[in-house]
Structure 1
Amino acid sequence: MRSVLLPAALVALALSAPVAVQAQSGKVSHALTLGDAPKYPAGFTHLDYVNVNAPKGGELKLSTPAGFDSLNPFIPKGDEAPGLGMVYETLMSSPPDDDLSEYGLIAETVEVPGDLSWIVFNLRAEAKWANGKPITADDVAWSFEQIKLNGEPMLQHYYANVQKAEVLSPRKVKFHFSGAKNRELPQIMGQLPVLQKADWEKRGFDKVTLDKWEGSGPYRIESVEPNRTITYTRRNDWWAKDLPINKGRYNFDRIRYDVYRDQTVAREAFKSGQYDFRGENSAREWSVFYDFPAMTQGLAKKQEFKHERPGGIGGFIFNTRRDKFQDVRVRKALALAWDFEWYNKNMAYGAYYHPNSYFDNSEFAARGEPSPEELKLLEPLRDKLPREVFGPAWKAPSSDGSGQDRKNLREATRLLKEAGWEVKNGKLVNPKGEPFVLELLLRDATYERMGGPWVQALQRLGVTLNMRTVDSAQYVNRIRSFDFDVIYSGWGQSNSPGNEQRSYYTSAAADNPGGRNYAGIKNPAIDALVEAVVAAPSRAALIPAVRALDRALTWNWYIAPTLGHNADRIAYWDKFGMPEKNPKNGVDVMAWWVDPAKAAKLSNSRQ
């Protein structure tokens, strides 16, 4: 399961925050969990890792690579501004140190029957909108109906088995479920963003807007300049500031995002102190860029924070809606041309490993031969799956790292020839004489470093690969309409895969504009395996179901995976205090605070 609509600034650091349910029939509970029990019992006072005495105040300045022209993050229109998740709240919240559980936020308690056919949320009496009016069950039901009808396409799959919302009283709302027993649906509803019906009915839920709206969250929008900057101000009157789930968090008085479309410019802006906190995704830049005087003097710092969150998979994704990618042999051949070992040694300072799974860095990654539990799911689908699925788990292509290892290119040539392509006059052509020409669509020039070696390797196969880096708006529009050959992207995963897999990999999502089935996968076997994941009645059943799905996805070569990494690279100006320990899912910058003494020292150094 994947948490939706995360604050944009934190997506790179916390791709998802999974939760699930194990509640007794008719029993009121403070939390939902997939584990043996929630980490935090009823009546807990605060999260273990936070500093409950963290001072409030100061400013956090961040950068964002994407321009924006909308303050409505809920619809597949416009480019949303970063940070909007701090303006609204959800019914429940999953903390970064307990990614299998969810605790009450707007909802104080929940009720779930043993058959998981519904859930009731009991709203807190003190839950209020920024205008002081109470949050009601009617607001909750209306929010669900609008998001399901007009929201992001992924949410239509997410809520597919939520039959209806029923208002039982002003502070009590019930969601009814349809279909097979689904252990994720109760907590999926806990992730529902709640909006004020009276406000959004006037503005229009399905409209792109730049109006500064208010929700019930810890921050309000202070100022905005489309495609340039947006600033949020902490609400001193926030109703939820003293809830145990929130203590020690949301400490900054102001949070500002500035747009830097070019990452070279963004790095220079960080170096000059234009913003405070930067997550670095380039191993090369991490190694060579941050050696500047302020870093040497200790005024700025860089640090790698290890994490245990699942890594998902990223790389060059093939759009199988294009005829040239229909044959799995073609996809495999192109993937063989990406030389990870050479790139990691020569371009990335040995910082990465080559991921072998769609569920990297988790217990859900397929390993060894299929288990009996996996085979029970796979055998009925044997005629629709590559034969390799029934053998050892897939491994990413490897080379000797010399840049001269030709075995993968020889194998790629053989596969392309089998698929009907051959080289004539140095160009790979099909039986009609049409050349094999591809476009790699990028939104960030940083990734051209990975595309460049691939371009050269593919040239040796007779394939022409043109890299095209476009602005954010054009990129988003082309992705939404699936107008691309290859993109550099991926699928993030959580520690509880589930309903979101439908939007990633199923036939129903393949032609849904704005959806996340980037590869255009239409495979009945994968459809069936996704449903097995969704229907898994326990974690013990979920693990083999996901591993079976992993085998089917990897052996179909929908992606050429590139780089794996299990740490967050963070550079920051030394004006912050931070918790003594980090949650296992990675850095929680919302638990940091401005240290007055450090901030004063830094300010004096800049005078």
Structure 2
Amino acid sequence: MRRPLARSWTNWLLALGLSLSGHAFAAHAYAQFGDIRYPASFTHFSYANPAAPKGGEIVLVPPTRQSNFDKYNPFTLKGSAPPSMLGMMFDTLLVGNMDESTTAYGLLASDVSVAKDRMSVTFQIHPQARFQNGDPVLASDVRHSFERLTSKQAAPQYRTYFGEVKGATVLAERSIRFDFVRPNSELPLIVGSLPVFSAKWGLQGEGPKATHKPLDQMVVDIPIASGPYRLGPVQFGKDVTYVRDPQYWAKDLNVRKGQFNFDRITYKIYKDSTAQLEAFKAGEFDYMQSFIAREWARAFTGRAFERGELIKAELPHGNAGDFQGFLFNTRRDKFQDVRVRQAIALAMDFEWLNRQLFYNAYSRVRGYFVASDFEAKGRPGPDELALLLPLRAKLPAAVFEQDVPQPPQTALDPTSGHTLRDHLRQARDLLKDAGWTYRDGALRNAKGQSLSIEFLDSSGSMGRVVTPFAKNLEKLGIQVQYKVIDFALLQKRMDVFDFDIISNRTVGSEAPGTELLERYGSRSADVEGSGNVIGLKDPAVDALLDKVVSATSRPELVTSLRALDRVLRHGHYVVPHWYGAVHRVSWRAKAFARPADLPRFYQPEKLVTTVWWSPHASAAPAAQITQPAPKAP
């Protein structure tokens, strides 16, 4: 049973023994909707083992990326930083946990206070907080980090993410206030997630003449951060090792107790997925996650598994499903007509793919908020209509008159439902209505231009999906090209929106909010490097996003997200993929020990690197192996 996430603010404050005057609350934690599980006196999170020994090492691979890195700065647009650098090296004001979705507890901040009008939040910096160079973490460092990340020198998603924050004001040496554009119950969590780094990072010269190097020119400057790990030995561009900082200021703090137990965490990067799996079996690294059902069923086999040297497990979780699909670039003229996008989606036969390729391991993605309370169903009810009716002139009539669109489904028995042929006929009619007819060997518009689609992929794993999809599209006269390119080149083309269709996965969230502005908001559509891959510019979507980020209760959030899901699905901006209900992971049996209980909300890589530990204590002490990373040649 789910714990209730919403209760009256008054009851919640009184339950915590907090004052109702001066501030809405001042406490060790902040909850968007008032549900704080752990009291101020808690000693550790329930899924962490406070007695876990420190030592040993883990070697793993990035879960999804197969590309080298070329910089040490994770905050800029150009280039690729080492995997997991943010989580390993940078502490934040507040930190979430794997049992609660909309609550965060003090890390760099020992106290968080939200104003009664919800127009600001004030943080008191923990007096023990230290950067890895020994300097104290001060409010001026927090303001410096905020201003750098919201400048044009940083990746554009930070400006969108913190777009509702007016500015940061230093109140005292260890006190800082963030002022908001409008009341928004999520904003204290947003600013609480700010990665904090020293104002000395990138500082050139000394004294009053010292200047800061522009953030986007800080490429191989080693970050000065306050997190549990430092950069250790590096094969620049290839492998990276993080070394546990024995002087980590928060190692005994309740939000860190029993966590970050390995002395060394190394990421190896393989650019070929087959070579990566064979290297795992050969003992070159200790842990990996599988995202491909066929690979899981047929390749994670052999003597090492039979002897129990390698463990293969499907770990249950309570996460919202990940959203995944082929995303249309609506900046392209050929994809601006909704009927063209809908027709292309009709050509993908998921049921065949699931039977023939996926071992029936997946369920179909239906909407944008997979397997959650936020999925729209049927026709809009009174609560959704209250949000949708004022936007009626900006929305298609189908939003009000039809059930929310569902992905096409083909039946195994042709007599019991639609077949692929039925869907292709429907697609042909939609394309004809949109002005595309088959002539001269291709599907052409009135100008004689042929309809072609290029699918880009960085790993080659989508080839077996695109091939049957392409055959169906070619029956409609659509020309299809599938191209495998390096991840770095793919990322560059995505940053400048130079693509037709891209496969994209977004990790599910139990409380989507401000991040959706960057994903679907008009302001980010033309910003290079933004998450608005689709190129969506829709005033109705913008209005619903405004309702999402201003929700003050869980029911308000649910209603606004369902309305948003409904409108997006009527736009047919994606060809929905599939999702699984478990994490498929494998690890070397003798390399790890782990707590018996799993948390509710987690990603497996973070779980492994955070709360698992080594059963061996023979590794050199962290203090003996700590060393600065070499600069790029």
**Is 1:345 equivalent to 2:355 in the alignment?**
yes
Q: Distance in 2 between matches of 1:176 and 1:380?
A: 30
Shift of residue 442 of structure 1?
1.1
Note if contact 2:73-2:223 (Cα within 8 Å) is conserved in structure 1: no
- Give the aligned residue type for 2:44: H
**Are residues 347 and 597 of structure 1, via their aligned partners in 2, closer, same or farther at CA, if it must alter by over 3 Å?**
farther
Q: What's the counterpart of residue 583 of structure 2?
A: 568
Deviations 1:424-468 (A, max 9, x none): 244111112211111111112112121111111111111111011
Give TM-score scaled by structure 1 length. Answer: 0.92
Give TM-score scaled by structure 2 length. Answer: 0.89
Give percent identity, aligned residues only: 39
Q: What's the counterpart of residue 172 of structure 1?
A: 175
Note if contact 2:200-2:224 (Cα within 8 Å) is conserved in structure 1: no
- Which structure 2 residues correspond to residues 202-221 of structure 1 after superposition, within 5 A? 202=204, 204-221=214-231
**Is 1:406 equivalent to 2:406 in the alignment?**
no
Deviations 1:343-381 (A, max 9, x none): 000000000000111000211111222121111111122
How many pairs align?
Answer: 578
**Is 1:189 equivalent to 2:187 in the alignment?**
no
Shift of residue 585 of structure 1?
1.3
Shift of residue 264 of structure 1?
1.2
SS of the equivalent of 2:97 reads coil
SS of the equivalent of 1:571 reads strand
Q: Distance in 2 between matches of 1:259 and 1:315?
A: 25
Q: Distance in 2 between matches of 1:428 and 1:595?
A: 62
- Which structure 2 residues correspond to residues 520-559 of structure 1 after superposition, within 5 A? 520-559=535-574
Q: Distance in 2 between matches of 1:211 and 1:34?
A: 36
Q: What's the counterpart of residue 287 of structure 1?
A: 297
Shift of residue 389 of structure 1?
2.0
- Which structure 2 residues correspond to residues 176-325 of structure 1 after superposition, within 5 A? 176-178=179-181, 180-202=182-204, 204-325=214-335
Give the RMSD, CA atoms, in angstroms: 1.8
Q: Distance in 2 between matches of 1:352 and 1:565?
A: 5
Find the partner of 2:142 among 140, 143, 156. 140
SS of the equivalent of 1:487 reads strand
Shift of residue 199 of structure 1?
2.4
Note if contact 1:576-1:592 (Cα within 8 Å) is conserved in structure 2: yes
The range that moved more, 73-82 or 380-389, is 380-389
The range that moved more, 332-341 or 156-165, is 156-165
Shift of residue 98 of structure 1?
1.4
Q: Distance in 1 between matches of 2:218 and 2:452?
A: 37
Note if contact 1:371-1:544 (Cα within 8 Å) is conserved in structure 2: no
Note if contact 1:77-1:208 (Cα within 8 Å) is conserved in structure 2: no
Unaligned runs of 5+ in 2: 1-8, 14-19, 205-212, 620-633
SS of the equivalent of 1:580 reads coil
Q: Distance in 1 between matches of 2:295 and 2:412?
A: 21
Q: What's the counterpart of residue 51 of structure 2?
A: 53
Shift of residue 292 of structure 1?
1.0
SS of the equivalent of 1:496 reads coil
Find the partner of 2:390 among 363, 372, 380. 380
SS of the equivalent of 2:275 reads helix
Q: Distance in 1 between matches of 2:126 and 2:420?
A: 63
SS of the equivalent of 1:476 reads helix
Q: What's the counterpart of residue 11 of structure 1?
A: none
SS of the equivalent of 2:59 reads strand
Deviations 1:577-600 (A, max 9, x none): 11111111133111111123999x
Note if contact 2:58-2:286 (Cα within 8 Å) is conserved in structure 1: yes
- Which structure 2 residues correspond to residues 335-484 of structure 1 after superposition, within 5 A? 335-390=345-400, 391-401=402-412, 405-484=420-499
Q: What's the counterpart of residue 122 of structure 1?
A: 124
**Is 1:41 equivalent to 2:39 in the alignment?**
yes
Note if contact 2:383-2:559 (Cα within 8 Å) is conserved in structure 1: yes
Q: Distance in 1 between matches of 2:33 and 2:228?
A: 29
Q: What's the counterpart of residue 522 of structure 2?
A: 507
Note if contact 2:202-2:218 (Cα within 8 Å) is conserved in structure 1: no
**Are residues 525 and 343 of structure 1, via their aligned partners in 2, closer, same or farther at CA, if it must alter by over 3 Å?**
same
- Give the aligned residue type for 1:544: T
Note if contact 1:214-1:221 (Cα within 8 Å) is conserved in structure 2: no
Q: Distance in 1 between matches of 2:178 and 2:617?
A: 50
Deviations 1:162-190 (A, max 9, x none): 11111011110011112x32111111110
SS of the equivalent of 1:568 reads strand
- Give the aligned residue type for 1:102: A
Shift of residue 402 of structure 1?
7.4
Shift of residue 208 of structure 1?
4.3
Q: Distance in 2 between matches of 1:321 and 1:402?
A: 39
Q: Distance in 1 between matches of 2:618 and 2:387?
A: 57
Q: Distance in 1 between matches of 2:351 and 2:536?
A: 28
Note if contact 1:308-1:361 (Cα within 8 Å) is conserved in structure 2: no
Deviations 1:298-339 (A, max 9, x none): 000111111111224211100000000000000000011111
Shift of residue 152 of structure 1?
2.0
SS of the equivalent of 1:552 reads helix
Q: Distance in 1 between matches of 2:393 and 2:507?
A: 29
- Which structure 2 residues correspond to residues 71-90 of structure 1 after superposition, within 5 A? 71-85=72-86, 86-90=88-92
Note if contact 1:333-1:413 (Cα within 8 Å) is conserved in structure 2: yes
- Deviant stretches of 4+, over 6 Å: none
Note if contact 2:316-2:581 (Cα within 8 Å) is conserved in structure 1: yes
**Is 1:593 equivalent to 2:603 in the alignment?**
no
SS of the equivalent of 2:563 reads helix
Unaligned runs of 5+ in 1: 1-20, 600-607
Q: Distance in 1 between matches of 2:235 and 2:219?
A: 13
Q: What's the counterpart of residue 583 of structure 1?
A: 599
SS of the equivalent of 2:266 reads strand
SS of the equivalent of 1:174 reads strand
Q: Distance in 2 between matches of 1:377 and 1:488?
A: 31
Shift of residue 36 of structure 1?
3.7
Note if contact 1:331-1:557 (Cα within 8 Å) is conserved in structure 2: yes
Note if contact 2:55-2:617 (Cα within 8 Å) is conserved in structure 1: no
Q: Distance in 2 between matches of 1:494 and 1:463?
A: 36
